[in-house]
A and B are shown apart, each in its own frame.
Chain A
Amino acid sequence: MSNHSVPNPVVSTQKPQGWLARAIDSDVFYSFRQSKLVMLAAIVTVLFFLMALLAPWIALQNPFDVANLDLMNSLNPPAWHPDGSWRFPLGSDDQGRDVLSAIMYGSRISLAVGFASVIFAGVMGISLGLLAGYVGGMTDTVIMRIADVQLTFPAILIALLIDGTVAGLFPGLNRENSAFYVLVLSIGLSFWVQYARTVRSSVLVEKNKEYVQAARLIGLRPLTIMVRHVLPNVLGPVLVIATINLALAVITEATLSFLGVGIPPTQPSLGTLIRIGNNFLFSGEWWITMFPGIALALLVLAVNLLGDWLRDALNPKLR
């Protein structure tokens, strides 16, 4: 193999880097370090995740274990109020549940529903988008028209529809167990279209690139090419959509729970807590609805800020 056209081989002088080194050195991480607001948003988000994850260990009480509750502790105001005590830092509700602990446990449910629906919508949307974009033709038309129709229904309406349908089809079903799955299904079905459309347009661009043609040339099956070659290159925008969708999913779940068709009060999410507390708002016990509301707003704001930053950081045109 000697005596070739290039006398000195063309060697790139940089050492090859592993993925961690590249990530730290990247422009994305640099832009992260530059923005204090985004770092704050990231910290808040991580705190929420940790709080939700570790709730059983760090909460002052498990507010949903009836054995812990004592009606004598009901309707305590927050700790800084003259009538309050530090056993209930943010007050207690009419059942004697500590509002702070309720928020921690509630975040668990809210975030669980949020993540699950984002994953469901994501998997469904990416698969359908990939299929529509790569295969094209009738498949593409059918999938995209279904998507268009889907978009005319607001998420709440779909959720109500599915909830009603499930209740009608399975009359004996215990709402407590099925509520989570029904919610995830409803919210997921409302959001998959965004993923599908974005992925489809990226696929249309990548499909015509020469590396895909080179793969076809070797005789690989379309499915193999779709998954191994095209998919990794179209996932970029998906991360941004997923982040912003998480916030949206949490809000949607809260709305549905507030309307009474979401998580039932026995294992309440933040939305359910807000609903429960709403009844006491005008009789003066404002803390029962306020604090879960503030927690929800903070979480959604932080996640949205993260998503916005991610979108700008990953956009090569803005760099």
Chain B
Amino acid sequence: MTDTQALVAVSELSRTFDVSKPWLNRIIERETKKYLRAVDDLSFVIRKGETFALVGESGSGKSTVAKIVVGLLPPTTGHILIEGVDLADVSRVAELRKIRRRIQMIFQDPFASLNPRWRVQKIVAEPIRAFGLEADDAATTRRVGELLSVVGLDPRDGFKFPHEFSGGQRQRICIARALASKPDFIVCDEPTSALDVSVQAQILNLMKDLQDEFGLTYLFISHDLSVVRHMANRIGVMYLGRVVEIAEAKMLFKAPKHPYTRMLLDAVPDLEMTGRAHQQIEGEVPNPISPPAGCTFHPRCPFANERCRTEIPAAIERADSLIACHGVEEGRLD
């Protein structure tokens, strides 16, 4: 997908964690080194102004991807390109610093995202000061007040401490901090998973409004398909570190191709009370340290054949979508 409008291009990204026991234990218990392949050969592109969602259950590697894209974790192999500049390219230090300002992250836990000892004013002002975006303290304070208003808080709230706010309000403060450096690209790692449903609605609406107002691009990580349906333009489905399907949001929900996507959609609770019967779901996500051979989904897949048990499916890219499934490739699925 060589899209000239790509803001973010992830290519062949892999990340392996060494989860072996300490050296002495291994000697005594005669164990080999153990590796966890959290992300395996991941490639996707995010266009400017769109919301790209990564959906998956636990062990899918989506949070790891978020951390790598933002630069908190280095990849084991593969590249992250932001507007053509490789994040790992150490020679272009000045450009990288500029790019760093333009990427921000909103985290899942509103209680751990804010330093409990700092006042809100200082928290939101920190990116402004770090990047030298305002001339002096007075200008910084004014800008912090603006940012707090933008996210629906009172500028006077800057004087308070994080523990004086509710979960939803704290998440607003996190959003204000993320906006402080005037970013183009924000990675949102399950931003509403820890919030109540009505508060989630406020935050999601706020995020959409901000996207329209400031022309933001989002990488939206979530396990909740309904939220993703509401927010995303394009969606990537991950399973055990690999991406199994990427499609435009409407298409994914109307005509999911990969058996795992279908299973996920079927598992979503029936709020419309249609009384639809659920397909029997088999098994659980296996241990990522020792994944099944071949297609990692094959133990749970109703369409698995011999090839699925031995060969990892390659990603097939069509018009605007991607699918990694032998069954689809062979036309076995309806």
Contact = CB atoms under 8 A, between A and B. Distances in A.
Contacts, number: 87
Most B Cβ at <10 Å: residue of A12, A216, A218, A229: A218
A7 to B, nearest CB: 9
Most B Cβ at <10 Å: residue of A1, A210, A219: A210
B130 A218 contact: yes
B29 to A, nearest CB: 21
B140 interface: no
Nearest to A218: B130
Given A9-B153, A12-B157, A217 B104 contact: yes
Interface string B105-144: 1011100111111000001001100110000000000000
B327 interface: no
B177 A214 contact: yes
B11 to A, nearest CB: 22
Interface stretch (B32-40, B42-50, B164-172): B164-172
Interface SS of chain B? helix
A30 B154 CA distance: 31
B115 A211 contact: yes
A6 B154 contact: no
A64 B157 CA distance: 59
A211 B113 contact: yes
B115 A9 contact: no
A79 B168 CA distance: 70
Contacts of A216: 72
B150 A4 contact: yes
Nearest to A215: B126
A12 B104 CA distance: 27
Contacts of A215: 126
Interface residues of B, number: 46
Nearest to B177: A214
Contact of A16 (B70, B150, B153, B159): B159
B300 interface: no
A10 interface: yes
Contacts of A219: 97, 100, 130
Interface stretch (B202-210, B262-270, B291-299, B304-312): B202-210
Contacts of B109: 209-210
B71 A5 contact: no
A173 interface: no
Contacts of A211: 112-115, 123
Given A1-B146, A16-B159, A16-B160, A214 B105 contact: yes
Nearest to A231: B117
Contacts of A1: 146, 149-150
Most B Cβ at <10 Å: residue of A1, A10, A229: A10
B71 A217 contact: yes
Interface string B261-304: 00000000000000000000000000000000000000000000
A312 B97 CA distance: 46
* Across the A-B interface, the 10 shortest Cβ-Cβ residue pairs: A6-B152, A210-B107, A16-B159, A210-B113, A232-B117, A209-B112, A5-B205, A11-B154, A211-B115, A218-B130
Interface of B: 67, 70-72, 97, 100, 103-105, 107-109, 112-117, 123, 126-127, 130-131, 146, 149-150, 152-154, 156-157, 159-160, 164-165, 168-169, 172, 174, 177, 181, 202, 205-206, 208-209
Interface of A: 1, 4-6, 9-12, 14, 16, 209-211, 213-220, 229, 232-233
23 contacts: A1-B149, A1-B150, A4-B206, A5-B202, A10-B154, A12-B154, A12-B157, A14-B164, A16-B159, A209-B109, A210-B113, A211-B115, A213-B67, A213-B105, A213-B107, A214-B113, A214-B174, A215-B126, A216-B72, A217-B71, A217-B104, A219-B97, A233-B116
